[in-house]
Amino acid sequence: MSGPPSLIDDIRAALSPHGLFLRGSLHLDSDGPDIGSDQRARTILLIGHEGSSHWSAFRHWQATSPDGDLPDPLDRWSKAALTPIAQQFDATAFFPSDPPFQPFQQWAMRAEGLKASPLGILIHPRLGLWHGYRAALAFADPLDGAGAVEVGPFPCDACQDKPCLRTCPASAILPEGFQYQPCRSHLARAEGVACLEQGCLARNACPVGAEYRYTHDQLRFHMAALKR
């Protein structure tokens, strides 16, 4: 992703201590979100993590912040880390957890050329299913060079074995998409302990980006949140 070198480089430098990255960018016209003062965003910079790149920063914040024991700590950390960065660069920060909910998946598909895996998670040619988006920085003006970037072919097309479709013990991965209720029902039963302790077995079975697989601590954190 390109843009004014000093701005892009400065944003990357500000994100680095949090284990976060500029994941992609896109130009918007009349479909940009409202950023106040009768303006709509013209440029979106997607902020996210690669694998567990952010996890130690999040856990440190959680252990030292008075908000660390409150509900939704990962969302709270994202806001604590990224709101000052948005203010520093005169941007508006949008977060996936906040209404009015913004189309993060559509933005990611436009910015990085990604598509949804059978699990519903966007799959990245390098990172596989082990990545996420924590925020978007919205700018009132277009940034030169910011635009969609095609990162590579859709990995699922080349996957002949498709282990994700036959590994889920709850049979929650169907051709029409991921079924949340069978998954949550399985996690509530004794036989769901393996998923809670090891992470989603179907997600773990995907061979793409295996080196970016989340740490056990992170896997357990996300599965506990899914169970609620």
pLDDT of residue 147: 64
pLDDT of residue 178: 87
Domain ranges of the chain: 5-153, 156-227
List residues bridging with 92 in a β-sheet. 138
pLDDT of residue 177: 82
Secondary structure letter of residue 5 according to DSSP: H
Low-confidence ranges of the chain (pLDDT < 50): 2
Angstrom distance (rounded) from CA 202 to CA 142: 40
Taking the model in full, what pTM does it have? Answer: 0.91
pLDDT of residue 139: 96
Angstrom distance (rounded) from CA 18 to CA 195: 28
pLDDT of residue 140: 94
60-94 residue pLDDT tens? 999 999 999 999 999 999 999 999 999 999 999 99
Q: What per-residue string of b and e applies to 185-198 under the rule 16 or more CB within 10 Å gives b?
A: ebbeeeebeebbee
Q: Which of 206, 119, 216 is nearest to 163 (CA)?
A: 206
Question: Going by C-beta distance under 8 Å and a sequence separation of 6 or more, which residues neighbour residue 190?
Answer: none
Three-class secondary structure of residue 215 per DSSP: coil
30-71 residue pLDDT tens? 889 999 988 999 999 999 999 999 999 999 999 999 999 999
